[in-house]
Amino acid sequence: MTIRLYDTSARKIRDFAPLVPGCVSIYLCGATVQAAPHIGHIRSGLNFDIMRRWFAYRGYQVTFVRNVTDIDDKIIQKAAEQHRPWWAIGYENEVAFNDAYDVLGCLRPTYEPRATGHVPEMIEMMSRLIERGHAYAVDGNVYFDVKSFPDYLSLSGQELENLRQPSGEGETGKRDPRDFAMWKAAKPGEPSWQTPWGRGRPGWHLECSAMAHKYLGETFDIHGGGVDLVFPHHENEIAQARAYGDEFARYWAHNAWVTMSGEKMSKSLGNSVLVAEMVRRWRPIVLRYYLGTPHYRSMIEYSEEALREAEAAFGRIEGFAQRVTELAGAVEPAAEVPAAFAEAMDDDLGVPQALAVVHTTVRQGNSALTADDKETAVARLSEVRAMLGVLGLDPLDPSWTRGGAAGSERGEALHGVVDSLVNLVLEQRQSARDRKDYATADAIRDSLQQSGLAIEDTPAGPRWTLS
């Protein structure tokens, strides 16, 4: 058994060889908490949650670090616009991100450090970089000298001569316009911390190099994030960390975007779909299926039609699970997933191919149900539960049956109310059938279907689902 991953730095799929046998260390660039998360933000968390789960299934001890960027230009700008403290905006959006991760079934990280909690580590890193000639201080700013690091741009494959480095307001005194800011001098009214070069605040890139070093050491296995972070963020992280003396990440994994009308989903474009709004319209497990089952390196073009297709596909899996449990009672997940599923997941987390194995197993199980082969149907459900468990999509897992991965009491209560009302109507339908008034019974069923409910008559009695 060898897990293989596409390594952005090597531009090819590589066999994964852990730094420490039996262990895997992952650093994921997390949220910049300037606004509530849309589904494009949360896709990265979902993709790397599946990666983490697969490593754990394969017997690895996983250390998973996901940072929070709680200070940057956008947060300060929002604070000024809303006349509120910068930390209040950061904290409320950090809570919104964690709620979104929870409701979509993402496991909590091993560590979730905030940028503002690691200023001493950043100061120490800048001090060494200045001593080694890789950085310099001007007007309270600290810049990284990109020409001092020969391997700069090796991740993205750009040419330094053609580079146009993004530059922010107040970044004065650069020796070269391509040098990037690690630390920004304080401006009136903005948050700041004391350093040997004056008061200021972190640049975007420095925080991740410093926090990865603190929590994962000089070298770790996998660094992850969205493909849009390859440059400048990850390129600059590498320069800082390796010039400091760390080997840093041994593999680089990047997930693709969620797009809308062919463009990356973003707040600035006004085309984002907030997670908090989406889970009011779609069940969280369906939203996880939609975002988590395409290959992590493939773009997802958002549409309502695609979500409906995902809902229907997951409904077929869920319906099979319900029918078998009604027939046979509780069915435990198998100890191992089928070999074809494991082969797909080992090959760069091939979730689409792995999901094809799930659907094939469901079809086999449904055929067994049709043939009254209870034993085979139970065996297939056991395999399905094992596979879905790895993907965080097992509909029979208590975390989902309690009303969502976040354990939504409101959702569970609402389901109970609807269940009581539907059962009352179904009793009236059964009474009509008992007295052979089939026209009334059919009319009741049709009315329920028009309301969005599908009614299925089973040996255990009628069962309703959302159609």
The per-residue pLDDT for range 42-55, each reduced to its tens digit, is 999 999 999 999 99
Query: Are 253 and 224 in contact, with CB atoms under 8 Å apart?
Result: yes
Q: Which amino acid is at 422?
A: V
Q: Is 142 helix (H, G, I), strand (E, B) or coil?
A: strand
Lowest mean pLDDT: which of 60-74, 227-241, 344-358, 429-443?
Answer: 429-443
Q: What's the pLDDT at 433? A: 85
When pLDDT is cut at 50, 70 and 90, the band that residue 388 belongs to is very high
**Among 362, 377, 274, 263, which residue's Cα sits nearest to residue 316?**
362
Q: What's the pLDDT at 441? A: 80
- Find the helix or strand (DSSP H, E) in which 124 lies: helix 119-131
When pLDDT is cut at 50, 70 and 90, the band that residue 261 belongs to is confident
pLDDT surpasses 80 at 169 = no
ω into 232 cis (within 30 of 0): yes
Lowest mean pLDDT: which of 288-297, 408-417, 433-442?
Answer: 408-417
d(CA 434, CA 431): 5
Q: What's the pLDDT at 372? A: 96
Residue 155's contacts (CB-CB under 8 Å, 6 or more residues apart) are 8, 9, 230, 231, 234, 235, 238, 252
- Token readout for 432 is 């009509």
The whole-model pTM stands at 0.87
DSSP label of 24? E
Supply angle C-alpha 237, 241, 243, rounded to 5. Answer: 115
d(CA 247, CA 256): 26
When pLDDT is cut at 50, 70 and 90, the band that residue 163 belongs to is confident
- Find the helix or strand (DSSP H, E) in which 12 lies: strand 12-15
Q: Using one digit for the tens of pLDDT, what is the confidence trace for 100-131?
A: 999 999 999 999 999 999 999 999 999 999 99
Beta bridge partners, 24, equal 62
DSSP letters for 357-415 = HHHHHHHHHHHHHHTT-HHHHHHHHHHHHHHHHHHT--TTSHHHHTTSTT--HHHHHHH
Q: What's the pLDDT at 419? A: 66
Residue 49's contacts (CB-CB under 8 Å, 6 or more residues apart) are 101, 105, 106, 107, 292, 392
Q: Is 212 helix (H, G, I), strand (E, B) or coil?
A: helix
What sign results for the dihedral spanned by CA atoms 382, 388, 394, 397?
Answer: positive
Helices then strands, counting H and E runs in the chain, come out as 15, 15
User: Where are the extended beta strands (E) located within 67-207?
Assistant: 135-138, 141-144, 180-185, 200-202
d(CA 366, CA 183): 60
Q: Using one digit for the tens of pLDDT, what is the confidence trace for 389-418?
A: 999 999 999 988 654 444 444 444 555 566
Lowest mean pLDDT: which of 331-345, 363-377, 418-432?
Answer: 418-432
- Token readout for 362 is 């469901």
- Token readout for 231 is 């440059």
Q: Using one digit for the tens of pLDDT, what is the confidence trace for 238-248?
A: 999 999 999 99
Q: What's the pLDDT at 340? A: 98
Q: What's the pLDDT at 410? A: 46
Strand pairing category for 61-66 and 23-28: parallel
When pLDDT is cut at 50, 70 and 90, the band that residue 431 belongs to is confident
Query: Are 202 and 86 in contact, with CB atoms under 8 Å apart?
Result: no
Q: Which amino acid is at 130?
A: I
Q: How far is CA 118 from CA 44, 175, 208, in A?
A: 24, 27, 10
- Is 362 exposed, middle or buried, given 0-12, 13-18 or 19+ CB atoms closer than 10 A? buried
d(CA 27, CA 20): 15
- Token readout for 445 is 């069923």
Terminal CA-CA length for the chain:
41
Q: Is 201 helix (H, G, I), strand (E, B) or coil?
A: strand
Query: Are 348 and 6 in contact, with CB atoms under 8 Å apart?
Result: yes
Beta bridge partners, 137, equal 142
d(CA 323, CA 374): 11
How much of the chain exceeds pLDDT 70, in percent?
92
Strand pairing category for 300-301 and 461-466: unpaired
When pLDDT is cut at 50, 70 and 90, the band that residue 264 belongs to is confident
